[in-house]
A and B are shown apart, each in its own frame.
Chain A
Amino acid sequence: MLIENVADAFVAVFELKILGLMALGVLAGLIAGAIPGFTITMAVVLTLPFTFGLSTIEGLSTMIGVFVGGLSGGLMSGILTGIPGTPSSVATTFDGFPMARAGRPGLALGIGVWSSFMGGIISAVLLMTLAPQLARIGLEFGPWDYFALVLFALTITASLAGENLVKGLIAGALGLLVATIGEDDINGVARFNFGTDALKQGFAFLPVLVGLFAFSQLMSDVQDTKSARKPLMEKGAKAVRVEHFAAIRAIAGNWINLIRSSLIGVFTGILPAAGGSISNILAYDQAKKASKRPEKFGTGYSEGIVASEAANNATAGGALITMMALGIPGDIVTAIMLGALLIHDVVPSPSFIGDQPVLAYSIFLAFFLANFLMLGTQAVALRAFLLVTRIPMYMLAGVILAYCAIGVFALHNVEFDIWTLFWFGVLGYTMRVLGFPLAPMILGVVLGDIAEVNLSRAVAISDDLTLFLTRPWSLFFLTIAVFSAIFPWYQKARGRKTWTLLFLPVLFLAIAPPLFMMGGVPRPAVGGILVAAGAWILFSRHRKGWKLEPPEEHEVHLEET
């Protein structure tokens, strides 16, 4: 079945036009990802209007190309100038830049590129094999479980998005509220249209997103006149020759680190809301802990580059697994991808892979191919990146603003969408200035309808609200939502307050009961392992007299990737 689906998808994707579009997408993503201040999200958002006129597979393949290219682009500026192009490549600079300064920029780039490629391929394989399995699990979900999953996604995004959890949650709630404006999906009743016809249809997803995210970011980029007038990179970056063979040799001696980091990336991506900005730091920390020479990290050590780059590219596959199997975006970029799918009349859900296998596997295959294209176009992108860095930010910002207007108009051919872009641009910028994270709001806008429809279904089936606590999956998601809400306090107090020593074992013990409730053999077995692990951690910490350990070097925060 898998082979049949892959073969059909192969026929659909292996067209010259699609490959060309994907190569363009990868190239655009590589360049955008390499420019500090530009994010992968922005690149994907700006690509979206170009895909309206394309077929579903063509459009989505192009956007996946941008996504994969963007994840790999960040390493170029990070290694050559010490400024990470995207937050996904922050940890790459820890060793990539010192290695480049020590006279091996070609090797550093090579290790980065090949680690990205390998991380991407590992996650593509897992995407193809795990997404259908996760979708099968998703078929067990009732509306209660879906509603709890959305709450969990919003809570974890808010908790990881900034220092102030309350601001993150307010942003998430505001996003949900924005999604309620216009005609209600269930009853067909207009809400909050304040007597205007234009608002009866509600806000289109794309203008809201471009306004909130791209418009407001461009305004932040040009806020300071001096820096806006300077070329994108004052330090400048010199052209270098990528040392492919030396890099492959270095990675071959580092394969355990590569696989571990890729797995960290994939599983971080599967978690709703956690993206490449988190996985690269996590993988770097784990690589350092597991290394025989941890003191070499930060001095231009290849293991550090491998860990960071393998993890951030692998995250994309993980995020796509959740989106394709459950219809829940793994991070902001996949939230936009979900929007793109909806624009192309594709609605991901647990039954989607089974119902439309060719399309689903075409998306998987496009992700797989995009990693090869990334490898092939890196050299061209490096040259283009060197040219783009000479342009001042204000010029790019002005041109992109006009492009945003044209792009959102192209969606429905109505001027109201450009007004939406404008007002949400103002709102997004204001929120940035006031320190409200945008990620929860964007997720709120995307997930609002899903939450409402499932709540409505749940109430229609039974007015017993305790079902939210007695159904295993719902209880599971609500439990981890509570722990994710506590996470910011845990992160701040870790290493200083004794109660933080309880966080992990209590989490293990708390998520075990819903696993026991699920029945069968594997899940209760996992629950048993979690109980044993939680008890063991508690016991060992008690034996050590609840001694606090020094906190990790790098805090985990979700940034706009």
Chain B
Amino acid sequence: MKALNRDTIVAVILLLFCGAFYAASFRIEETTYATIGAEVWPRLILAVMFALSAIYLVQSVRKGPPVAERPSGGFFGRYRNAILCYLLFLAFLLTLDVLGMLLGGIAFVFLALSVLGERSPKMLATHAVVAIVSVGAMWSIFTFALKVILPPGIILSVW
């Protein structure tokens, strides 16, 4: 079987996405008072998007299978930094209730810098200083100057 090119896969995903949302549009409540139902506009958009995705699919099939262009290091090698940053951000979000914005933010910046940058003792210390100073400054500006109550987290609340 010939390898599918990336655009073909994306086009198929988009078509499925349109289908799923179209199905979901039937769960939108129908009102008796509306001149134009709440489901009409999203369905119109989905119809246009479906047609465009179909054109995209045809274009991608015409383009043919990809020329051997596998990136060195594979998928993870190429997108390693972005994937790790997203995972760290996800961890930051999941622990936000416990660590709070200040501690969680510092931990996130420190880990992100250490993942993206060099990990020599000198650079780790630099990353720690950058994390504490930058997040501390931002936290202070928002908390004291802009009077925004940022999530304190369980640890700081207990203190």
- Whether both chains belong to one complex is answered with yes
Determine whether A486 belongs to the interface, using a CB cutoff of 8 Å to chain B. Answer: no
Q: Which residues of B contact A224 (CB under 8 A)?
A: 81
B89 touches A401 (CB 8 A): yes
Distance between B92 CB and nearest chain A CB, rounded to angstroms: 7
A187 and B41 form a contact (CB under 8 A): no
Given known A174-B49, A406-B150, contact A166–B130 (CB-CB < 8 A)? no
Tell me the bound Cα distance from A406 to B148 in angstroms: 10
Instruction: Find A50's partner among B25, B46, B146 (CB 8 Å cutoff).
Output: B146
Q: Verify A394–B108 contact, CB threshold 8 A.
A: no
Closest chain-B Cβ to A20's Cβ sits at a distance in Å of 14
> In whole angstroms, how far apart are the Cα atoms of A229 and B81 in the complex?
12
Which residues of chain B are within 8 angstroms of A11 by Cβ–Cβ distance?
Answer: none
Cβ–Cβ contact A173 & B117, under 8 A: no
Q: Is A392 a contact partner of B117 (Cβ separation < 8 A)?
A: yes
Also in contact, A223 and B151, with CB within 8 A (given A170-B56, A174-B49):
no
Inter-chain residue pair count (beta carbon < 8 A): 169
Residue numbers in B under 8 Å from A176 (CB-CB): 45
Specify which chain B residues have a CB less than 8 angstroms from the CB of A190 in the assembled complex. 28-29
Contact residues of A between 384 and 421, Cβ < 8 Å to B: 392, 394-395, 397-399, 401-403, 405-406, 409-410, 413, 415, 418-419
Which chain A residue shows the least CB distance to B53? Answer: A170
Main secondary structure of the interface of B (DSSP, over half): helix
Q: Is the interface of A mostly helix, strand, loop or mixed?
A: helix
Q: Which of A189, A220, A413 has the most CB of B within 10 A?
A: A189
Q: Which residue of A lies closest to B85 (CB)?
A: A219
| Residue B125, interface by CB 8 Å | no
Given contacts A191-B42, A225-B81, A405-B101, contact A398 B35 (CB under 8 A): no
Given contacts A402-B138, A422-B89, contact A192 B42 (CB under 8 A): yes
**A174 CA / B45 CA spacing, docked (Å):** 8
Contact B147 A189 (CB under 8 A): no
| Residues from 51 to 103 in B contacting A, C-beta threshold 8 Å | 52-53, 55-56, 59, 78-82, 85-86, 89-90, 92-93, 96, 101
Query: When the two chains form their complex, are residues A410 and B146 in contact, meaning their CB atoms are under 8 A apart?
Result: yes
Q: Contact at B85–A415, with CB atoms within 8 Å?
A: no
Residues of B within 8 A of A223 (CB): 78-79, 81-82
- Cβ of A184: which chain B residues have Cβ within 8 Å of it? 38
- Which B-chain residue is minimally distant from A174 (CB atoms)? B49
- Report the contact-size class of chain A (Cβ under 8 Å from the partner): 35 or more
Which of chain B's residues have a CB closer than 8 A to the CB of A194? 24
Name the A residues within 8 Å of B134 (CB-CB): 399, 402-403
**Candidates A191, A219, A399; contact of B38 at CB < 8 Å:** A191
Does A301 interact with chain B (Cβ within 8 Å)?
no
A459 within 8 A of B: yes
From A52, A177, A415, B46 is in contact (CB under 8 Å) with: A177
Interface size on B, residues (CB 8 A): 64
A521 interface contact, C-beta 8 A: no
Interface residues of B in 1-53 (CB under 8 A from A): 6-7, 10, 14, 21, 24-25, 28-29, 31, 33-39, 41-42, 45-46, 48-49, 52-53
Expressed in whole angstroms, the minimum distance between the Cβ of B138 and any Cβ of chain A is 5
Decide: A186 and B38 in contact? CB cutoff 8 A.
Answer: yes
- Residue in B56, B108, B117, B141 whose Cβ sees the most chain A Cβ within 10 Å: B117
- Is there contact, CB below 8 Å, between A228 and B130? no
Contacts of A409 in B (CB 8 A): 101, 148, 150-151
Report the minimal beta-carbon distance from B117 to chain A, rounded to whole angstroms: 5
Q: Does B158 contact A (CB under 8 A)?
A: no
A426 CA / B87 CA spacing, docked (Å): 11
Given A173-B48, A186-B34: A399 and B130 within 8 A (CB)? yes
Residues of chain B having any CB pair with chain A under 8 Å: 6-7, 10, 14, 21, 24-25, 28-29, 31, 33-39, 41-42, 45-46, 48-49, 52-53, 55-56, 59, 78-82, 85-86, 89-90, 92-93, 96, 101, 105, 108-109, 112-113, 116-118, 130-131, 134-135, 138-139, 141-142, 145-151
Some 29 contacts from A to B, beta carbons below 8 A apart, are A164-B59, A166-B59, A170-B14, A180-B42, A186-B34, A186-B36, A187-B37, A189-B28, A189-B38, A190-B29, A192-B25, A192-B28, A219-B82, A219-B85, A223-B79, A223-B82, A392-B117, A394-B113, A397-B112, A398-B108, A399-B134, A405-B101, A410-B142, A415-B151, A418-B96, A419-B93, A433-B79, A434-B7, A452-B41
Known pairs A405-B108, A455-B36 / 9 extra A-B pairs, C-beta < 8 Å: A52-B146, A167-B56, A173-B49, A177-B42, A394-B116, A397-B85, A398-B112, A399-B109, A434-B7
